[in-house]
Structure 1
């Protein structure tokens, strides 16, 4: 890339000088040349003789450099930029996939979507390309100023002084403009995309309640804020450019005047030199200014990508496996002791001295009011969050979470086939896949699909009911569960009969599988071996009767959960 930049800078600078020489050749015949053009003409006659005109050669070199070499360099530069864009996109995506939950600034799927698909081109357009442009134009300006300084020292010295004054004035003007309250365009774009995504997800409710105008009304100020932030980035450069261009052109006129009177060169040759080179310098300074301003505005995005992850949360040692104690069946597979977890900048602990033991093949029901920390506990169990205190230990099992299956109330379908969505781009045997499909009841859906498991999801996704989507999520979780299956309201979209059939089929087909069943339906708890009530960050055993005429300790304490 450095070689390409140097070559492009040399071609751009040489092209401007060639234009100046060409202008000199078109001056009236018989006029006695002097100054820089006289020296150049003498050197050409000594090299090629007086009978050979330099005009065809100059035109050929100019056409070759700008019409052939420059486009080829642009193609090569574009391919390198494509490779860098791909590398940056993969790096950001890997960053989002591997970052622990406690270190994530993006708390929603839409935030992460914008981070990956917006930040990558933002860094390329706002950091990579301006850096390349800045380096190239700086080289071009340096070469042209060096040539002018050698040919017209006094006039060029005045031009350099004027450029320094223009740079200082531009810096002062930029600082004044930066005092205006800045609004990051990225934040506005995140909010815009979230409004669109969430509105489309709730399209049924929007139409049902007649809220189209209300949604558009709420969306208007968000879009307006984004438009203002975008316009402001351009304004910071565009306000300065006309003033600096006017100042630069006035200095060019002064330089031509000084060169004509001081060097003894005719005025037309001075005009030819400073017009051709000066116009290219003007373009170069404009690009340098724009690149510097773009780099300044894009710096927060680059700093966010390169910020070390370790600053947010200290690394913790992984839990070590224990030797199974000699106790009666069921054999424990997971033991949590005195677990605690607090969110950053939150005073109270969401999980407080929590104890939990799950045995092989044991079904544990977990209930509690919304917001008591059930989802946080799930994050700790699956390794998304590290407890601030206490221990979480797997008994005689490898310390990895690939043995856990997890299904939530909502199922996200990924691009690909139905097979891809159940295996979740993992490796599953046909036997495991068929068993998971049968347990979740997806085999009924397969009968409607012309290509079966190889049916592209984008062709049928809009036709799936919420229950069918949830069955796909259940099949995915069952296919991945080897030791423990966590069902976090994972049957909420199923009717009670379908829910009961799924749970019965699961227990019959996978008796060795431990299950944590998080639910608000008391009828689902008839399938569990024991039930736990989560309150105040801790778990307590409770008995629950699903019969209306039987007392329920859970119903007495938390009637809102029924």
Structure 2
């Protein structure tokens, strides 16, 4: 049983890796084992090498294959010493090159897995139901996909691999010094093990708790930045800069406290083990003098222990620092584990769905007894809604806030799945192949999302330059009545619009949204209060562009201002999730008191 949280996190990572990844990890483990053996060999050769340097005549004992056991001459001793010195140096060069190569393979593996799982996680989020995004904070999802996946591999798994590597090195070197002098080695090892355990025990609980806090506060730091910069206009107008800054700083202080503690604790092992190394060398000298009584006799042994201590100190330091880091960042594994595990179930065909042909729409769109409730709510947002929209009609949904207008459009869009009922196009349920139905829709929201990129890329939205259809692009620009505007731009369609379209007017942004919706030549155009934020004159211009498409395309509108739906073929008045009344603008004025109250202040359309 993996009882410690840091070990449980390791078990979770193992379950997240596929068979190929696991074999790569095993291969890295083998390289670590070989590296530790080379480290032990390097340290183990110190004793005989120092012994030969001290007394070159010992070469006669080593070179046992020489005929007649003839002693080496002084010149021959010099040659052998030179050869052995070069071989000793070459061994260390090879050892360090081998370890450098192992580290390269290790880092390459970790970075590749971090990239793989980050993409996998974002893919999972993109393909989640729309309700998932309604319930989850965007800053948290960004944090998980970018930061926490990096922490899983580079701040947790990397330290775990370092721990394994350094532990094997420590074990191998201890084996060498045990062979050299078991009595002294066992005393030293027992003392070091006890002191290391005490050091670990003192800090591990605090590190674990601070690691969980880091996840919490980092998410709130990202959220604070996103909210402050995302609403910068309102922030500046309302003078809320300091309030947003205070929220950001409060969370950042707590986040930095956690990281400060980790950095501080990670530096302690160096001083701790350096002190232990000096004390250990003194202890070894005392013990060897007690055993042998003469420094001359034990100089090679002391040299071996000194070399071992020299090599063990950085290993022990890295081992403890990595252990602290792994405990601190183990919480990152818990944060993304379930999401990554679920993300692995997505298959390539799901990604290919965006290329499905549109579902044919030649006759009618039917909503049949639709019920829908949002998660964790008691009252249904839609209750028994049934209606039919003919191909080529212009339809409007009106009603007070919370009446169900947006919900019914989101159901038609396929973003929300009704708990009861069906939506059929020409008699075929859209749920038999939802992506094909969505390819038939052009959607124009109230707030058009524009990236800090060219007008061309914003209209084609997400398509690489090589796949943008120039003819379809120009047709969309013309239909959205953007041609004159584009012609007046110095760079035309290659003009940068600025982040969120800050260099454009409200009407221009909405027209770009219309062009984007029309780029794929959809059969259905859905407007979600697309003109609510515009002035009357700009709204009239945008609606002229929309009404020019009437008859050619089926247009479904949510309207806050009734002036935008006066020319609709039919209106649906929504109230409490139900269709309260239906008819033309004139018919509703005549027969619906609620609609008349809404229409007060608007002029009725002129008779045909």
In which range does the TM-score fall when normalised by the shorter chain?
A: 0.7 to 0.9
Could you tell me whether the CA contact under 8 Å between 1:137 and 1:284 is conserved in 2?
A: yes
Shift of residue 144 of structure 1? 1.7
Matched with 2:304 is 273
1:287–1:534 Cα change, 3 Å: farther
Matched with 1:297 is 328
Shift of residue 340 of structure 1? 1.9
* TM alignment of 1:41-190, pairs within 5 A: 42-43=61-62, 50-51=77-78, 52-53=80-81, 54-66=84-96, 68-103=97-132, 107-177=136-206, 183-190=212-219
> 474, 477, 486: which is aligned to 2:517?
477
Could you tell me whether the CA contact under 8 Å between 2:129 and 2:415 is conserved in 1?
A: yes
Q: Secondary structure at the match of 2:261?
A: helix
Could you tell me whether the CA contact under 8 Å between 2:524 and 2:554 is conserved in 1?
A: yes
1:144–1:221 Cα change, 3 Å: same
**TM-score under structure 1 normalisation?**
0.80
With 174-183 and 277-286 compared, the bigger mean Cα shift is at 174-183
Deviations 1:70-95 (A, max 9, x none): 44444444444443332222212212
Task: Give me the whole-angstrom Cα distance separating, in 1, the residues matched to 2:54 and 2:277.
Answer: 33
Q: Secondary structure at the match of 1:491?
A: coil
Task: Give me the whole-angstrom Cα distance separating, in 2, the residues matched to 1:309 and 1:77.
Answer: 22
RMSD: 4.3
Shift of residue 23 of structure 1? 8.1
Shift of residue 526 of structure 1? 0.9
* TM alignment of 1:395-474, pairs within 5 A: 395-396=426-427, 399-400=434-435, 401-414=438-451, 416-426=453-463, 429-457=469-497, 461-474=501-514
> 389, 392, 414: which is aligned to 1:361?
392
> Is 1:342 the equivalent of 2:366?
no
Deviations 1:95-141 (A, max 9, x none): 22112234459734443333322223222222332233233223222
1:310–1:82 Cα change, 3 Å: closer
**TM-score under structure 2 normalisation?**
0.75
Could you tell me whether the CA contact under 8 Å between 2:215 and 2:331 is conserved in 1?
A: no
Could you tell me whether the CA contact under 8 Å between 2:372 and 2:383 is conserved in 1?
A: yes
Deviations 1:407-428 (A, max 9, x none): 2122222465322221223566
1:105–1:301 Cα change, 3 Å: farther
Matched with 1:319 is none
> Any gaps of 5 or more consecutive residues in structure 1?
316-322
Shift of residue 243 of structure 1? 5.2
Paired residues in the alignment total 542
Task: Give me the whole-angstrom Cα distance separating, in 2, the residues matched to 1:58 and 1:77.
Answer: 27
Matched with 2:531 is 491
Q: Secondary structure at the match of 1:419?
A: helix
Shift of residue 60 of structure 1? 3.3
> Is 1:387 the equivalent of 2:418?
yes
1:460–1:486 Cα change, 3 Å: closer
Could you tell me whether the CA contact under 8 Å between 1:419 and 1:453 is conserved in 2?
A: yes
With 55-64 and 244-253 compared, the bigger mean Cα shift is at 244-253
* TM alignment of 1:250-289, pairs within 5 A: 250-251=279-280, 253-255=282-284, 257-258=286-287, 261-262=290-291, 266-289=297-320
Q: Secondary structure at the match of 1:275?
A: helix
With 98-107 and 406-415 compared, the bigger mean Cα shift is at 98-107
Shift of residue 520 of structure 1? 1.0
With 71-80 and 183-192 compared, the bigger mean Cα shift is at 71-80
Shift of residue 332 of structure 1? 2.0
Q: Secondary structure at the match of 1:463?
A: coil
> Any gaps of 5 or more consecutive residues in structure 2?
1-23, 67-71, 347-358, 603-608
> 34, 38, 43: which is aligned to 1:14?
38
Shift of residue 531 of structure 1? 2.0
Could you tell me whether the CA contact under 8 Å between 1:173 and 1:240 is conserved in 2?
A: no
Shift of residue 311 of structure 1? 8.4
1:151–1:24 Cα change, 3 Å: closer
Task: Give me the whole-angstrom Cα distance separating, in 1, the residues matched to 2:31 and 2:242.
Answer: 56
> 221, 225, 233: which is aligned to 2:254?
225
Query: Whose helix fraction is larger, Structure 1's or Structure 2's?
Result: 2
Task: Give me the whole-angstrom Cα distance separating, in 2, the residues matched to 1:134 and 1:508.
Answer: 69
Could you tell me whether the CA contact under 8 Å between 1:6 and 1:136 is conserved in 2?
A: no
Task: Give me the whole-angstrom Cα distance separating, in 2, the residues matched to 1:557 and 1:172.
Answer: 72
Could you tell me whether the CA contact under 8 Å between 2:367 and 2:385 is conserved in 1?
A: no
Deviations 1:9-59 (A, max 9, x none): 6446635753675587568976699xxxx8x99446769974411223222
Task: Give me the whole-angstrom Cα distance separating, in 2, the residues matched to 1:116 and 1:416.
Answer: 23
Q: Secondary structure at the match of 2:310?
A: helix
1:354–1:228 Cα change, 3 Å: farther
